Amino acid sequence: MSAATGPRSPHLHEGRPGGAMFVDEVTITVRAGHGGRGCCSFRREKYIPMGGPDGGNGGKGADIVVEANPHIRTLVDFRFRPLHLARHGEHGRGKNQSGAAEKDIVLPVPLGTLIRNKATGELVADLVEPGQRVVVAKGGRGGLGNAAFVSATNQAPRKTQPGEPGEEFELVLELKLLADVGIVGFPNAGKSTLISAISSARPKIADYPFTTLTPHLGVVRLEEGESFVIADVPGLIPGASHGAGLGTRFLRHLARTRLLVHLVDLSPETGRDPVEDYRVINEELEGHGGGLEDKPQLLVANKSDLPEAAENLKRLKTFASRRRTPLLVISAATRRGLKELVYAIKRELDRSERAERDGAAVARPTRRRAVKA
């Protein structure tokens, strides 16, 4: 079984569960629970004169915790429920009974979610590992009851403490897809067809006159049991780096990728020049910044099965040869050249991983012995 037609994962369909809308940025308000107040109470029982204070402490308010969940692909649930309130701790009671601490609230988010404080812009957390957690709002500490203030000089204190208030913040959740490879190119270049042909993703495919509005994630599995994650980033247009066509929103999803597959359309029906398309997309990557322009790329020519594409392919080959840029020719519709493409991607990823390891080894500081004066 070839890599292009290998087994498909049943867990990744369109990168969005149940066909739900894709949401990659939301603002939410989180309010942790207040601590319960301490109790002022005195023991009053028959035959026990001067029983003394027995007021219990208040319970701790619930924290609000955000957890990275690998089974969630979108932040859509937070769009319809932006306010999250935790329960307060119970108040203390007599007979030295402390109030119960409330159970923390856990908010699941997709892998690759960044959490920022909206007021300060501070990065609170970057959740990239399954099960990774961060407390975004701490519950208040419970107040002390009067039994906690007994001393040699104060045998019957009436002092208690109120519970501390829980923290409250307005947070911005921003999703950056976690993928090894990102596919970029103009609308209708065949990105959706390509990702559906080589991976488990199932995007809607049609000859739309506009770009699709949903990124898709898929897993590509090789015969050797290895795999990598690939993302189909919606088609870019001129001016995308400045927000045209929601471009800045889509470009940020490329930030975590290690390799870009630059897909160009050989079909003359579009009326576009594949060489010019290649230049325009690279200008948008450079305009967006953030290191996108420095990421390694594979130039891939699609729709080579069309007889009328020969002239565009000839021009693109000349251009790639002049720039010494490797060119892969495929047809996503007929699956021609897909196996070669998958293994070329894997080689580039391996090369990138080795370079990262070597760079980390060079950057690691060496331990030096202290020299006596």
Q: How do residues 177-219 score in pLDDT, each as one tens digit?
A: 778 898 988 888 888 889 888 886 665 554 444 445 567 778 8
Residues 307, 314: Cα–Cα separation, whole Å: 12
pLDDT, position 211: 47
Q: What percent of the chain has pLDDT over 90?
A: 46
In this prediction, residue 175 has a pLDDT band, given cuts at 50, 70 and 90, of confident
Q: Which residue has the higher pLDDT, 256 or 345?
A: 345
C-alpha radius of gyration, the chain, whole number: 29
pLDDT, position 200: 66
pLDDT, position 371: 36
Ramachandran assignment for 131, one of left (phi > 0), alpha (psi -120 to 50 degrees), beta (any other): left
CB-CB neighbours of 350 under 10 Å: 11
CB-CB neighbours of 237 under 10 Å: 17
Residues 284, 322: Cα–Cα separation, whole Å: 22
Angle in degrees, CA 270, 273, 274, rounded to 5: 100
332: pLDDT strictly greater than 70: yes
Structure tokens given for 196: 């559906």
| Extents of the domains making up the chain | 25-175, 181-363
**261-290: pLDDT as tens digits:** 999 999 888 778 899 989 988 888 887 766
Measured between its terminal Cα atoms, the distance across the chain in Å is 69
pLDDT, position 214: 67
pLDDT, position 2: 41
pLDDT, position 370: 37
pLDDT, position 29: 97
Q: Cβ distance 189 to 205 under 8 Å? A: no
**219-245: pLDDT as tens digits:** 888 877 788 888 887 755 554 344 444
5: pLDDT strictly greater than 80: no
* Region 25-175: CATH code: 2.70.210.12
Virtual torsion, Cα 18, 240, 122, 76, nearest 10 deg: -10
pLDDT, position 102: 94
pLDDT, position 210: 41
21: pLDDT strictly greater than 70: no
* Cα-based distances in Å from 59 to 15, 31, 100: 41, 17, 5
Q: Which residue has the higher pLDDT, 288 or 333?
A: 333
Residues 142, 34: Cα–Cα separation, whole Å: 8
> Among the CATH numbers 1.10.3720.10, 3.10.180.10, 3.40.50.300, 2.60.40.10, which is that of 181-363?
3.40.50.300
Angle between helices 310-323 and 274-288 (to 10 degrees): 50
Q: Cβ distance 183 to 263 under 8 Å? A: yes
- Burial group, residue 67, by CB count within 10 angstroms (0-12, 13-18, 19+): middle
**82-140: pLDDT as tens digits:** 999 999 999 999 999 999 999 999 999 988 899 999 999 999 999 989 999 999 999 99
- Burial group, residue 50, by CB count within 10 angstroms (0-12, 13-18, 19+): exposed
Residues 118, 115: Cα–Cα separation, whole Å: 9
DSSP at 225: S
313: pLDDT strictly greater than 60: yes
Q: Model pTM?
A: 0.67
310: pLDDT strictly greater than 50: yes
Q: Which residue has the higher pLDDT, 4 or 280?
A: 280
Residues 199, 5: Cα–Cα separation, whole Å: 8
Residues 269, 307: Cα–Cα separation, whole Å: 12
